[in-house]
Chains A and B, each alone.
Chain A
Amino acid sequence: MTLSPTQIERYSRHIILPNVGGVGQQRLLNAIVHCDLSTSKSATLVAIVYLASAGVGTLILSGDVHHPVTHHDIETSICFELNDIGTSYITALTTKMTASNPDVTITSNESLHPHHRLIITDETHTIQDALILGGQHALSVITSIVTVTQQP
C-alpha cells in the first residue's frame, strides 16, 4: 500500500520526522492497538484520541465501552461534548474520530489480533493529569510501532 496524496498532506508533520518517514506512517496505518478502558478512563481516552489522530489504523476497545458518557467524562477528558451525554463511549468515540480521521477504525471486535496493547492503571482526576499520562502512553505506543517493528 502507498500513502494517498491526502494522507501525505494529513501526516506530513509525521513523515518528515527522521524516525518515522513514509514507512513509519504506513506502519501506523497498518497497526492494530488494543485499548483497555477498564482502568484510568480519562488518560486512556486521551491516548486513544492522539493515537487515532496519528493515524493508528485500528483501535480495539475493551472494558467499559458501552458505558454512557457523563458530565464527569467531559470535565476530565478531551474527547466528549454535551451532545454525547448518554451515548456509549464507543459510539461517541467512533463519531468523533470519523469526523476527524476516516483512516481510523474503532471497534470492540476482540477477535482481531492486536500488535500493541494500551493499558493504563494509574487513575487521574483532572484533564491536565490525563493529558500527561495519556500523552506519555500514546507516545510510547507510537514510538513502538514506528521503531520496534522495523524490518531488519
Chain B
Amino acid sequence: MVNNLIPSIAIVLSLTNKRVVIVGAGGLGGPISYGLAACACHLTLCDNDTVALSNLHRQIQFQLSDIGTLKTTALCNTLIQRGINADKLIHHAIRCTADNTDLWLDGADLIIDASDNFETKFMVNDLSVAAQIPCLITSSLRYCGQILAVIPGKTGCYRCLFEAPPHNEFIDNCNTGGIVGAVLAIVAGIAVQQAQQLLTNDYTDAGTLFHFDNLEETITPRKIQFEQRHDCLACGDRS
C-alpha cells in the first residue's frame, strides 16, 4: 500500500507548478480535469458550450441543475466542491482557435485536446508544433477511443498520421454517431496517465497512437507506431 502511494506523492510534487490547457470541458475534459487536478496541476479549461440534457448520459461532472450553464463554469464549480483550490483554475468560455491563443495558451506546459471536432484537433496539433509545447489529442466515438501524445521535434504529430481533417460528409461525432459514456472514462484515464508522463519528461508512450474499438481492446489498446513525415505540413522540414 505504502509503496503504491510513494510514486503518487512524487508525481504530485513534480506537477504542482505545471499548467495544462484542456480544450473541451465535456465528456473527456471533465474526468481528465479530475485526474490532473488531483495531481495538483494548474488547469486552464476552455469551452464555449453550455450543458444540455443530452450531455448527462456521459458527462458525469454535470447534473440537472447545470443545464443551460456554461460547461467551464459548471466544471470549475464541481472541481472547487471537490476541494481544488480556485487559484489553480482558469476558465474561458471561448472556442479555442489559432486567432485567440492570447486568451488560452498562456503559460501552457501541455495542451490536451478534449474537443469533439477535427478542426480543433488539427488546430491544437499545429499550434503545439509551432509553439514547441507537447500535446495530447484524445477522441472517442461509439465504442472507440484514441489517444496520441505528441512531443514537437521528437515524435511524429497528428498531421503526420492523418494529414488533414476528413471531408464533412465522412465526419461523425457523438451527436451523429453516438457514444457509450464508459468509453470516455477509459480514454480519460489513459490520457491522464500519458499527461503525467509528458509533464515528467517520460516519453515512453509519445508518438504512438493508442486505439481501441471493442471491449477486449480497452484492456490492451492497439499501439500504432509511426514515423515523423518529412513532408508533414505541420512538423516536416518542408513546413
Contacts from A to B (Cβ < 8 Å): 6, 9-17, 20, 46-47, 49-51, 53-55, 71, 74-76, 78-83, 96, 99-102, 125-136, 138-140, 142-143
Q: In terms of DSSP, what is the predominant structure of the interface of chain A?
A: helix
| Residue in chain B with minimal CB distance to A127 | B35
Report the separation of the CA atoms of residues A133 and B82 in the bound assembly, to the nearest whole angstrom. 21
Partner of A13, one of B8, B54, B193: B54
A128 touches B56 (CB 8 A): no
Q: What is the CB-to-nearest-CB distance from A114 to chain B, in angstroms, rounded to a whole number?
A: 18
Partner of A12, one of B38, B54, B185: B54
Assuming the A-B contacts A14-B180, A127-B35, are A135 and B186 also in contact, with contact meaning beta carbons closer than 8 angstroms in the complex? yes
Assuming the A-B contacts A82-B83, A131-B186, A138-B185, are A50 and B54 also in contact, with contact meaning beta carbons closer than 8 angstroms in the complex? no
B190 touches A132 (CB 8 A): yes
Assuming the A-B contacts A9-B53, A81-B82, are A54 and B180 also in contact, with contact meaning beta carbons closer than 8 angstroms in the complex? yes
Report the separation of the CA atoms of residues A131 and B185 in the bound assembly, to the nearest whole angstrom. 5
B215 touches A135 (CB 8 A): no
Assuming the A-B contacts A9-B54, A17-B178, A127-B192, are A53 and B60 also in contact, with contact meaning beta carbons closer than 8 angstroms in the complex? yes
Interface residues of B in 61-112 (CB under 8 A from A): 62-65, 78, 81-83
Report the separation of the CA atoms of residues A15 and B178 in the bound assembly, to the nearest whole angstrom. 8
Segment touching A, from B169-177, B199-207, B227-235: B169-177
Listed by A's residue number, 19 A-B pairs whose Cβ atoms lie within 8 Å are A11-B57, A13-B58, A16-B176, A16-B178, A17-B177, A20-B178, A50-B181, A53-B58, A82-B81, A82-B82, A83-B81, A126-B8, A131-B31, A131-B189, A132-B185, A135-B182, A135-B183, A135-B184, A140-B215
Report the separation of the CA atoms of residues A101 and B193 in the bound assembly, to the nearest whole angstrom. 29
A53 touches B38 (CB 8 A): no
Residues of A contacting B53 in the complex (Cβ-Cβ under 8 angstroms): 6, 9-10
B57 touches A10 (CB 8 A): yes
Q: What is the CB-to-nearest-CB distance from B34 to chain A, in angstroms, rounded to a whole number?
A: 5
Residues of B contacting A100 in the complex (Cβ-Cβ under 8 angstroms): 56, 60, 62-64
Residues of A contacting B58 in the complex (Cβ-Cβ under 8 angstroms): 13, 50, 53-54
Not counting A14-B57, A54-B181, A128-B189, a sample of 7 additional A-B residue pairs whose C-beta atoms are within 8 angstroms of each other reads A6-B53, A13-B57, A13-B174, A17-B179, A74-B83, A99-B63, A129-B193
Report the separation of the CA atoms of residues A47 and B35 in the bound assembly, to the nearest whole angstrom. 16
A125 touches B4 (CB 8 A): yes
A14 touches B193 (CB 8 A): no
Partner of B178, one of A13, A130, A136: A13
